[in-house]
Structure 1
Amino acid sequence: MDSLAERNKEFQKQSKQNKVLDSSDFKLLEANEPLLDGNDYQRTKICPSKRIEKRTLSSDDNIIQEFCFKEFSNNTTNSPSDESQIEIRRQVNILKELKNTNNIIRFFGVAQENSKFYLVTEWMELGNLHEYYTTNKDKMNWETKIRLALDICCGISYLNDCQILHHDIQSANILVDKNEKIKITNFGLSKKFHDLTRNISPNIENVRYMAPEKLLSVDNDTKKEKVPYDSKCETYRNRVNERYNLPFSDGIPDDWKNLVITAMLHEPACRPKISKICHKLHKLSKNYSKFSTLDDCTEDYDENLSSIDDNQSTMTSFFTITILTVEDAVRAHKSKNGNKQLAWQSFKYHSVIDIYAKYMVGYYYYHEEVPELQKISKDERVRIAVEIFKETADKGNPSAQLRYGICLWQGEGISANSFEALKYLKLSANQGNSAAMYVIGKAYLNGGNGIEQDRERGAKYLKEAALKNHLKAKEMCTKNNIVF
C-alpha cells in the first residue's frame, strides 16, 4: 500500500508538471503495461450502453472469463486519443495494484481494437447499486443494508490509504457482481481517467452528493473545469447555506440516524474520519447480524426489531443467533460434525478486523467447503484465496505464510517462484510452524526447483519439525538417519 501511494504521488507530480514521456519512459510503459488486443476477446450481445459492453475470453483449460469493455476515443477528452490512452495506461498500471481488497473494481488494462481503445475491468453482472437496490429493496433487511454500507466504507478507506480520492461516491458508481458483492468504480488519478469512467453528467446528479464546502466553492470550480452549473445546482447551494438536511423516513434505527447525522455535519472538522465510520458500521453490523427472521415469519424485519423494545421476552420467538465468535467458529470448523456454513458466515463477518478470520475466509475459498463457493470456478476461487493468503501473510499470520508459500512453490493461483516461496515459508517457520519447517527441510534435502541442495540445512529444519511432533518430518528423519 505504501509503494502504491508513492507511485500515485509521483504520477500526480508528473501530471501537474505536464511531463511528456521520453523514449525510455515509453519503453518502460510498453514493458509494464502493454496494450491488450481487443480482437482476442469475444463480443457478446450484452451492452448496457453505447460505450460499454460485455466480452469474454476462454483460457487454455476452457474457463470462460468475463470482462467489461468501456470505449474511449477522440471525443472523450480534449486530448488526442494516443495521448489519452498512454496516460490512462500509466494510471491503470497503478490501479491494477488495488487488489488487496474485495471492495474495489479490478482493472486488467487498456485494449486496442482497430482505431478504438477500451478500458478493461471485471464484469459486474447485477449492474450498479441503484439498479440493484431498486429491484431488491423490498427483500433487504437492515443487516444487508449495513453490510453494503460497511463494504463501501472499507473500499473508500482503502483508496484513501493509497492517497486516491474518489470525489463521486454514489449508488451509480457502486457495482454489484453475480455473488452480490459490491465494488467501487468510476475513479482515477487524473481528470482524463475520471472523465472516461464516470457514468453521469457533472451537474444536478453529482451535486446531490457534494460535501457542503465543495458545493459552496463550486462557482470557482466550474469556471476552472467548465462544468455546467444550472438553477437546480443553485437551489442545492442555497439549501446547504441554510444547513438543510433531508428528513429520515419512518422506521430508521436510531443508531443509523446518529451515524448519518454526524457524517453529514456542516463543518468538515466535526465529521468523523472514514476509519471511525467503518468501526461504527462494524459495531452496528455486529448488533444486527446476531439476528435473522425465521423463514415462516410474515412480519416485516423492522416491525420485529421494534417489538424487541416493547417486549424483550419475545425476542427468541422472532430471532435466532447466527454469528459465532472467531474461537467458536474455529471449533465448528474443526469439528467432524461442525456447522461449516455457520463457521464460514462467522469468519466472513469477523474478517473486517480479525486477521485470522480473514485467513480462514481464504481457506474456505481454496477448499470449496460451502455451497455458495461451489458456484464459482476453481480458477477464480483459488485466485481469490491466494490474494487473501498474501494479504494475511504480509500481516504476519503464520498459517497464511505457509499457504501462500506453498501456492508460490506449486504455481497455484500465481506464477511459481521458489525463492519467494521459501521467503514466506521461512517467515512461517520462524513463528514455530512445523509444517513450514518440514516443507523447507524437504526442499533443501532434495534440492531442485531452482533450490540448491543443502542436506545439512535440510536436516536442521526437518529435525526442528520432528521435535514438534510433525509426523512426516519424523518419518523423513528416520529414513535419512537424522537424529532428533
Structure 2
Amino acid sequence: MSVHTVLNAAPVVIGSAIDITSSMSSAASGIEITKQFLGAASAVGEAVKPFLPLISAVTLVISEIVDIYETAQYNKKICNSLMDRVTAAEAAVKTLQRRKSENEKNFRNLEYYKAFVRFVDVMKKIQIFIGNVSQLQGYKKFMHASSVKEKFTSITDEFDTVMSDLHFTMAVANEEQRKLDQESLTSDIAEMTKFLGRIEGGIIDNNNKINIVLQEVLIMKDKVEHMNSAQNDPSIWNMKANEIKPVELTDPLNGRSTDRRGEAPCILKKIYKVQEVACKPINIPETDSPDAKKIQGHLAILGKLRDSPNILRFYGLSYVDNNQVMVLEWAEMGSLKEVYDKYDIAWHAKVLIALDICRGLTFLHSCDILHHDVRCQNIMMTARMEPKISNFNYSRMSHGPTSDMKHITDVVHWMAPEKLQHTREKPVSYNFKCEIFSFGMLLWELAFEKVPYEKWDMIKIKEHVLSGKREKISWGKASPDIQKLQKDYAKIIDDPQIRISLQGIFMALDKLADEHCKVGTTSPSLFPDKKLDLDGTSQEPVPISISDDGGMELPDMDMDFSIDSIPTLLSLEEGIAAHKRKEINVAWECFVAHSDLGNKTAKYWQGYYLWEGYVVEKDRKRASELFKEAADDGIADAQLRYAFSLVNNPSIKFDRQLFLEYLTKAADNNNPTAQFNLGDLYLNGKLKIQVDLEKGKKYLRLAAHNNQPKAKEALEKMGINIYVDTD
C-alpha cells in the first residue's frame, strides 16, 4: 500500500486561517487614523496616499501588541525586550509624523516603500510571537527551548534591519540591546524549563509535553461563547455533560451523619463506580432553551478539567429522589475554610496546599478560564489534605457568571483594587491580574486562618484597599525553623510583583516546599484549634503591609502623518482575497512580491501555486522548500503542506520522522486535517508508527471539535462522544 493511500490523500488547506488583519479595515481607530493622514497628505503631495494603509496597519498592530503584553503570563523578560523595540517603532513613526516634509524624498522612493511593507510584516511577527511565548498554549508550539531563541533572534534581526532601512533610530544601542536580549532569553528560558519540569497538575502529560486537553478545552470554550451565532454547526448543540443513570449511584455501606451537608436541598454522599461522590443539586432550565444549552456546554467543559488533580472532578449529571444533581468528587474534609475553622493547619501543610491550589489555577488559566471567586471557602479538601478548586463559573448552581457579584459583601474581602472601582457607568472587566490578586489574599487567609478584613463592612474595605493599604502580617511565637518559613512565605505575599504571573508565585512556593517540606515527614498536618499562635496576639506585632503596583497605562496613540506616492503594492490580504475570487494572476504577482520581501506567509502561498501549477508550471521541489520556510515560521497550514509534500514526491526522499515532526507541529498548531491524520496514524499504526490508542483518540477529538468530518465519522464508529469522557 502506498504512503499516499495510507494517508487518505492530501488535505485541503484553509487559507483564511492566515488572514491576520481581516478586521483591520473595519476598526474605528484605523479609519480615524487614515482620515488624519489623508488630511495631512495635501501638505506634502498626493503621492503620499499609498503609504496610508501601511501606517494605519502598523499603528493598529502596535496597539494590539500593547494589549497582548498587558495580559502576558509567561516569559515577561522576553516580552519586555520586544516591547523595547515596539516602543522604538512607535517613537519612530511619531517622529516621521513631525518631520513629514523632511522625509518627502523617502516617501517617493520605491525601496523605502518596500521597506515599510516589511516593517508592517515584522511588527505582525512580533505580535504573534509575544502572543505565543506569553501563554502556555502558544509556548507549546516551540518544540524546544532553542526554538524560542532562534525565533526571537530571527525576528529581532529582521526588525533591526528594517529599522535601519527606514532610517529609524533605536533608543538603545545595538550592542547594549543585544546584551539585554541575551540575558532576558537565558533567564526566561531557564525559568520556563524549570517551571514546566515542576508544575505537573495535569498541565504536563506523560510524555513531558503540554497536555492536549488544554487545547481541547479552549476549542470547546470558544464554541460555547459563540453558541448563539453558531447556527450552521449543529454539533455544538450536542455538547453536554455525561449522563449517569440513577441506579449507578448507591448509598455508602456505612452511613454517617456527615453524608448530608448543608441545608435543603442538601449535598448527598453516594458511591459511583466504587468512588465516593457528592451529589449537588442543580437547576438547569428547559432542555431545549438557549440557557440550558449553554449550561450544558459549560458542564461538558467542566468534565474535561478532570486531567487536573487539583480541580474537583465532575463526573456528570444524574437524578437523586427525582432531583437533578451534579455528581462531583467527594471531599471528606469539606472546604478549606471549614478545615481551618475546626483545626489549626501545620505550616508545612499550608505550603503544600498553597502549591497545589496554584497548580489548579494554572491549569484553569491555561484553558483561558477564570475562577472569579478565589477564597478558601471554594477550595475543597480530601481526607489526604489535597486541595481541589471548586465552585468556579462552570460549576455554579444556575446563578450565572460570577461577574454578577450577587454576594458582593462576601467577595469584597478578596477583591482586586480595580474591581472595587467597578460601576455600571464605568465597568471594569475581571482578568488574570484580578484573579492573581485574589489568590494572594487567599494565601494571607490560609496563613492566618481567618477572612481578610474580618468584620469590616464593604465601604471600609474599599476605602482601605483603594488607599493602597492591605491586611497586616503579624506573626506569633514559633520555633526558629517555622519563623524562617513564615519569613519566606511573607515575601511571596508582600512581593509588589506578585500580580505579574502565577508562574512566579508557583516557583516561589515550590522553592519554599523544597526547603521546608521534606518528603516522607511524619509531622502532623492538623492540630487542635487555637493551638498555634498565628497572629501574635500574645506579643507586640510587627506589621508588614501587602503592596500592589497595579497595571501599566497604555501609551498615547495620537498620530498624524504625511507621506508621498509611488506605485502601490497589493497587501497580502488583498492577494489572498484575489485568490479566493480566482483572480490567480493578480494573486500570484502579489504573493511573489511579498515573498521577495521575506514574508513567510507569502512564501507559503507562492509554494502553493508552484505545487498546484497555478499561473506557472509545477515545481514541487521548490514548493516543498517554500512550505518548509513558512512552516518553520509557525504557519500551521504550511507545516501541514510541508509534511505532505514529503509524500510521493519523486524529487524528495521520504523521511518518516520529518513527516511525523511537521504533521505533529501542524496538529498542535490546531490544524484539523493534521489532527485527523495524526490521530489516524496513532490509532492504526500506519507508516510503522507505534500504536498509541490514547494519543490517537485525543487528536481525533481535537479534529472533531474543529469540525473535521472524517474525525467525527471515525469517532462515531468507535462509539465515542467528543464532549464526554468516560472511564
Deviation at 1:218, TM superposition (A): 4.9
1:85 shift after superposition: 4.5
Contact 1:85 1:110 in 2 (8 A): no
Residue number in structure 2 paired with 1:208: 413
User: Helix, strand or coil for the counterpart of 2:267?
Assistant: strand
Taking the aligned partners of 1:43 and 1:279, their CA distance within structure 2 comes to 42
* 1:144–1:58 distance in 2 versus 1, CA, 3 Å: closer
Q: Deviations over 1:188-220 (max 9, x none)?
A: 35987664999x962111111111112222555
Secondary structure in 2 matching 1:118: strand
Paired residue for 1:47, among 260, 265, 270? 260
Query: Is residue 346 of structure 2 the alignment partner of residue 141 of structure 1?
Result: yes
- Which of 279, 289, 312 is the matching residue for 1:69? 279
Task: Give me the whole-angstrom Cα distance separating, in 2, the residues matched to 1:163 and 1:105.
Answer: 18
SS at the partner of 1:207? Answer: helix
User: How many positions carry a matched residue from both structures?
Assistant: 289
Q: What residue identity is the alignment partner of 1:35?
A: E
TM normalised by structure 2 equals 0.35
Structure 1 residues 96 and 142, CA, compared in 2 at 3 Å: closer, same or farther? Answer: same
The one-letter code sitting in structure 2 at the alignment partner of 1:66 is: E
* Residues 69 and 81 of structure 1, relative CA distance in 2, 3 Å threshold: farther
Instruction: Quote the Cα distance in structure 1 between the aligned partners of 2:690 and 2:423.
Output: 55
**What is the identity, as a one-letter code, of the residue corresponding to 2:349?**
T
Give the Cα–Cα distance (whole angstroms) in 2 for the partners of residues 277 and 202 of structure 1.
28
CA offsets, 1:123-145, max 9 Å, x none?
Answer: 111100011122221xx332111
Report the Cα distance in structure 2 between the residues aligned to 1:288 and 1:82, rounded to whole angstroms.
54
Contact 2:348 2:517 survives alignment (8 Å): yes
* Structure number with higher relative contact order (C-alpha < 8 Å, ≥ 6 residues apart): 2
1:232 Cα deviation (Å)? 2.9
TM-score, normalisation: structure 1: 0.50
What is residue 37 of structure 1 aligned with on the other side?
A: 245
Instruction: Find the aligned partners of 2:230 and 2:215 in 1 and give their Cα distance.
Output: 22
Instruction: Answer whether contact 1:103 1:154 (CA < 8 A) is retained.
Output: yes
Displacement of 1:51 after TM fit? 3.2
Aligned to 1:393: none
Residue among 469, 475, 494 paired with 1:261: 494
Decide whether the 8 Å contact of 1:36 with 1:109 is kept in 2: yes
| 2:307 is the counterpart of 1:93 | no
Residue 68 of structure 1 deviates from its aligned partner by 1.1
Q: 1:423 aligns with which of 691, 698, 710?
A: 691
Is the Cα contact below 8 Å between 2:268 and 2:280 reproduced in 1? no
Greater shift, 39-48 or 233-242, is seen at 39-48
* Distance in 2 separating the partners of 1:176 and 1:214: 29
- Aligned partner of 2:499 in structure 1 is 271
Alpha-carbon distance between aligned partners in 2 of 1:23 and 1:273, rounded to the nearest angstrom: 36
Change (3 A) 1:41 1:14: closer
Taking the TM superposition and a 5 Å limit, the aligned residue runs for 1:269-418 are 271-290=499-518
Assess if the C-alpha contact under 8 Å between 1:47 and 1:53 holds in 2.
yes
Cα distance in 2, alignment partners of residues 105 and 18 from structure 1? 29
1:173 aligns with 2:378: yes
SS at match of 1:105: coil
Distance 2:227 2:299 in 1: 20
The runs of at least 4 aligned residues of structure 1 exceeding 6 Å deviation read 20-23, 221-225, 291-295, 300-303, 417-421
Give the alignment of 1:188-203 within 5 angstroms: 188-189=393-394, 195=400, 202-203=407-408
Q: Aligned partners of 2:279 and 2:402: how far apart in 1?
A: 11
Name the structure 2 match of 1:56.
Answer: 270
Amino acid of the residue matched to residue 57 of structure 1? I
Taking every aligned residue pair, what percent have the same amino acid on both sides? Answer: 24
Aligned-partner SS, 2:420: helix
Inter-CA distance 133–224: structure 2 relative to 1 (3 Å threshold) = closer
Query: Superposition RMSD on alpha carbons, in Å?
Result: 4.3
Give the 3 Å change call, closer, same or farther, for CA 233–38 of structure 1 in structure 2: farther
CA distance in 1, matches of 2:684, 2:268: 37
Q: Which amino acid aligns with 1:257?
A: A
Q: Give the deviation of 1:26 after TM superposition.
A: 6.8
- Are the counterparts in 2 of residues 47 and 54 from structure 1 also a CA contact under 8 Å? yes
Amino acid corresponding to residue 390 of structure 2 in structure 1: T
Q: What code does the residue aligned with 1:242 have?
A: S
Paired with 2:382 and 2:511, the residues of 1 have a C-alpha distance of 25
Provide the rounded CA distance (Å) in 1 between the counterparts of 2:237 and 2:295.
16
| Distance in 1 separating the partners of 2:384 and 2:522 | 22
Structure 1 residues 166, 35: CA separation in 2 closer, same or farther (over 3 Å shift)? Answer: same
Separation in structure 2 between the aligned mates of residue 257 and residue 213 of structure 1, nearest angstrom = 23
The reply on whether 1:4 has 2:181 as its aligned counterpart is: no
Q: 1:164, 1:85 → 2: CA distance?
A: 20
Deviation at 1:55, TM superposition (A): 3.6
Are the equivalent residues in 1 in contact too, given 2:276–2:329 (CA < 8 A)?
yes
Q: Is the 8 A contact 2:217 2:304 kept in 1?
A: no
